[in-house]
Amino acid sequence: MPLQKFLAKLPPLYTEKDREKFSDAFAMAEEAHGGQTRASGQPYVSHCEGVAEILVDMQASPNMIIAGILHDVLVDSKVSLETVKNRFGNTVAHYVEDLARITSLPQLNRGDQHEEERQPLPVTEDISDSRKADLIAETLRKMLLAIGDDVRVVIIKLADRLHNLRTLHHLPPDRQKKIAQETLDIFAPLANRLGIWQIKWEMEDLAFRYSNPEKYQEISTQLEMRRNRREDEINGIVTTLQKLLKAADVEAQVTGRPKHIYSIYRKMQRKGQTFEAIRDLRAVRALVNDEGSCYKVLGIVHMHYTPIPGEFDDYIANAKPNNYQSLHTAVIYSDGKPVEVQIRTYEMHQNAEYGVAAHWRYKETKARMSSDYEQKVTAMRSLLAWSQEVDESSELLENLRSDPFRDKVYALTPKGDVVELPLGATPIDFAYQVHTQIGHRCRGAKVNGKLVTLDYTLQTGDQVEVLTTSKGGPSRDWLNANLGMVKSPRSRSKIKQWFKQQDRDQNLEHGKAALEREFKRLNLNTVDLLAMLETFNVRSLDDLYVAIGTGDLSMGRVINKVSELQKSAITEDLLIPAGPTTKPAPSSSVMVMGLKGMATVPARCCNPMPGDDIVGYVTRGRGATIHRVDCPNILRVHDRERLIQVDWASQEKTYPVALQLSAYDRQGLMTDISTVLSGENVRLVDLSMQTRAHLVKVNLVLEVSGISQLSRLLTRMENIPNVIEASRSKPG
């Protein structure tokens, strides 16, 4: 009987009273799910047992295990919350209620035997990346809202999803792919964020198997083909290290560490390498009794083998927010190939495998918890707090998926206190991390005693002194992603909150002025703002302007949407072309409506680019010349029969665009302009200058990929010292 097997496998950690409660919970689950079966044909209660077993492996508390057994009773049966509360107490009822809220979210696939009666989270290829990100972020927000501030519920939900993945082969292929992709988008990153590595790795490999079966099979086959040789190599490395440590009188357990298929795939993608080029498939782990032994083992490893530069990380001295501790290094072994080595204590290993889950082992039922445990609970809850501080989906997902063990910078205050920041952080990020008011009043900074600009990139070890003013607030330029002055989502959130507290009319005025200024600078005349309202979830143009003014809506997102929408039909009143150019454009850059194979060339008089409304003019023997609809030459053409409707093809190319910069002349101005162009990876086609008194006008023709890049380029140019204005030249 499943219950007897489950009880027999329980470790001594759980008392006889706990076992009685588990039996009672299984009795309730069997009654509630009576007659329900899974796609495999097994009774539904087998899923409840599977979830409970995963939680037992994590040494979760009895209440968490009971909630795992009962996680679907409120959704799939007539059992009431009051019944659960009366039989198992308020804590279990709280967990089960939160889990029911998550299961009831319309955006989430359940992953079990139930038919999908709700609209699942769209993850198909027919939606844009930005829309997909918005949908994922929306689902994540709702799930975290349902969870509240109790991380235990996250752990139970992760166990639920993991067991569903283990039995996913019983479902139809379309549901397999949806559930697998949703796992990679939301649940595996959540496990990563909480440091529950054992759950994370298994989730990723199982989900990858169904989301990309071809690549999964390819890598697994390669691993299988080389398994015997790799295992022999690992066994040899383990034996050698054990002998070295024993000779140094260090007690250690050395084992091989498996490389997971999904992590190999991500590394192949990240480095653009084939499987054969991935050299570091060998990894070992040494477990010791105390912290001092960790460093002793590290010294022995580095003494006998050459360390690989840049591959050493000390996560013992610099413990991570989720309490992860370990030493990581990579060395060249005696056969000339690299080996990854992790060194940690047994307690650190338990924490590394189960992350936050390791801190709830059996302690919630005790009358009093130690102050140390209370601090750990607070620290773990804070890991989810960032979700409430981020407004844009791209930022939310970036934070969710970021590895909390990497991409960090540690700067110092003048008093020597350590401040942890994301990689690429600036003095503004540092100021907000110290205190919100210091961030608001930041006007400058000294790094290591020297004045630096506010977009200076901080490095580990930098000592930062923030220069503040007595009053005032942040600058709207800080929210401009093109300027790179703020990297931390927390800082961005604080800045946006400050602007939200300002008067609505003031924000409306600022937002409208900023948008009009950007359109004028890009020389965009006909933009249908009403078409954007639904996209940005606002009711009116005034709300759109306010969102821009407060920083809730970035100018970059607006310009990207403008680029998508600038494909509307061309009205007859604006149809009129210009003389042909001798330089042909790529045939795939413009699509001629109703015709195939017609050559097209861009008009030099107005230099059209993707995002512009365009019209074609049929020339004699040279195909069609492509003009902007507001080109002066177009307005003088009377032979309308030679005008044809055209649109930009989907293939992205670069297009010439004329810009003009007004600046106060100074030495080094052109060097700064060249640096910006190089940073944006654009090609300079033509350049001319006109100087009068102390003013200079620089005329440029650049090849850009579209309006979004042009907007970013103009913003960066206007930020160059002494530049008064940078804008796109008007046609004609």
Mean pLDDT of the chain: 78
| Confidence band for 140, pLDDT divided at 50, 70 and 90 | low
Name 343's Cβ contacts closer than 8 Å, sequence gap at least 6.
Answer: 285, 286, 288, 294, 297, 298, 301, 326, 327, 329
| Adjacent-strand bridge partners of 463 | 412
Task: Name the more confident of 385 and 312.
Answer: 312
Q: Specify the range with the lowest mean pLDDT, choosing from 264-278, 343-357, 450-464.
A: 264-278
The position carrying tokens 């539904």 is: 44
Which pLDDT value is given to residue 439? 92
What are the φ/ψ torsions at residue 102 (nearest 5 degrees)? -65, -45
Q: What proportion of the chain, given as a percentage, has pLDDT over 90? A: 17
Task: Name the more confident of 268 and 696.
Answer: 696
Task: Name the more confident of 124 and 351.
Answer: 351
Which pLDDT value is given to residue 285? 92
Can you tell me the mean pLDDT for 701-710? 81
Q: What proportion of the chain, given as a percentage, has pLDDT over 70? A: 77
Can you tell me the mean pLDDT for 595-619? 79
| Confidence band for 342, pLDDT divided at 50, 70 and 90 | very high
Which pLDDT value is given to residue 374? 45
Helix axes 62-69, 151-166, angle to 10 degrees: 50
Can you tell me the mean pLDDT for 50-71? 89
Which pLDDT value is given to residue 649? 67
Q: What is the pLDDT of residues 427-464, one digit of tens each?
A: 999 999 899 889 999 999 999 889 999 989 998 888 99
Which pLDDT value is given to residue 613? 79
Can you tell me the mean pLDDT for 547-568? 73
Q: Which CATH number fits domain 407-500: 3.40.50.150, 3.40.50.1820, 3.10.20.30, 3.40.630.30?
A: 3.10.20.30
Can you tell me the mean pLDDT for 584-591? 52
| Confidence band for 415, pLDDT divided at 50, 70 and 90 | confident
**Class of domain 2-211 (CATH, top level):** mainly alpha
**Class of domain 220-357 (CATH, top level):** alpha beta
Q: Specify the range with the lowest mean pLDDT, choosing from 8-12, 21-25, 26-30, 374-378.
A: 374-378
Which tokens hold the place of 561? Answer: 């949407």
Which pLDDT value is given to residue 120? 45
Can you tell me the mean pLDDT for 595-610? 77
Which pLDDT value is given to residue 88? 92
Size of the chain in residues? 732
Delimit the domains of the chain by residue range.
2-211, 220-357, 407-500, 504-565, 572-648, 655-728
Q: What is the pLDDT of residues 630-661, one digit of tens each?
A: 888 887 887 777 788 787 765 456 778 888 89
Residue 371 has pLDDT above 70, yes or no: no
* Beta strand 723-728 pairing with 655-664: antiparallel
| Confidence band for 377, pLDDT divided at 50, 70 and 90 | very low
What are the φ/ψ torsions at residue 248 (nearest 5 degrees)? -90, 10
Q: How many Cβ atoms sit within 10 Å of the Cβ of residue 400?
A: 21
Q: How many Cβ atoms sit within 10 Å of the Cβ of residue 639?
A: 10
Q: Which CATH number fits domain 655-728: 3.30.70.260, 2.40.10.340, 3.30.950.10, 3.30.930.10?
A: 3.30.70.260
Percent helix, strand, coil in the chain, to 5, is 50, 15, 35
Residue 426 has pLDDT above 90, yes or no: yes
